[in-house]
């Protein structure tokens, strides 16, 4: 796998995700290891210090898979709020893990289930309260 770009996560998101991954129903899911690896390498900042162009929980992300050319727009949410019909993607989904903490313009190569690796590039981030 290629070098991963630097990522930034708010302290609130970090704490929430650590607690989430400690819940019994998430302890043995395949995504747990990937998300923990991403959290370990993240720079942690206070919520008021994070740039508006960085992907956080509850932000809407417009991104492109540079390998396929397909563009997407999704909101990154907790597993309980995920709803594919409303383009609400779980932070435990592979694409959610890949995008968390990236900023506009950053690209990450990520293995998607049942597919070849995707090359995801963040085009726009909209923060929601």
What distance separates the 2 farthest-apart alpha carbons in the chain? 38
SS3 75: strand
Residue 110 — very low, low, confident or very high, per pLDDT cuts 50/70/90? Answer: confident
Cα 100 to its chain centre, rounded Å, is 3
User: Could you tell me if residue 1 is inside a domain?
Assistant: no
The count of structural domains within the chain is 1
Q: Which domain holds residue 112?
A: 8-127
Q: Are the C-beta atoms of 59 and 127 separated by less than 8 Å?
A: yes
Span 121-126, average pLDDT? 98
Tell me whether residue 55 is in a domain: yes
Kind and range of the H or E run holding 113: none
Quick one: DSSP state of residue 115?
A: S
Q: Is there a domain that residue 104 lies in?
A: yes
For residues 14-34, b (16+ Cβ closer than 10 Å) or e, as one string? eeebeebbeeeebeeeebbeb
Distance CA 60, CA 69 (A): 19
pLDDT of 62 above 50: yes
**Average pLDDT across the chain, whole number:** 92
Question: So what's the pLDDT on residue 129?
Answer: 62
Per-residue pLDDT tens for 11-61? 999 999 999 999 999 999 989 999 999 999 999 999 999 999 999 999 999
In a domain, 3, yes or no: no
- Does residue 36 belong to any structural domain of this protein? yes
Which CATH number is 90's domain given?
A: 3.10.50.30
56 within some domain: yes
């Amino acid at each position: 796998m290629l070098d991963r770009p630097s990522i930034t996560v708010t302290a609130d998101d970090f704490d929430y995700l650590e607690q989430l991954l400690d819940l019994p129903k998430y302890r043995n899911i395949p995504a747990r290891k990937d998300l923990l690896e991403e959290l370990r390498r993240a720079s942690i900042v206070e919520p008021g210090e994070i740039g508006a162009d960085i992907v956080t929980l509850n932000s809407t992300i417009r991104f492109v898979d540079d390998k396929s050319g397909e563009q997407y727009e999704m909101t990154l949410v907790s597993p309980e709020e995920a709803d594919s019909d409303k383009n609400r993607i779980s932070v435990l989904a592979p694409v959610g893990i890949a995008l968390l903490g990236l900023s506009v313009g950053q690209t990450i190569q990520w293995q998607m289930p049942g597919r070849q690796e995707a090359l995801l590039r963040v085009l726009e981030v909209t923060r929601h309260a």
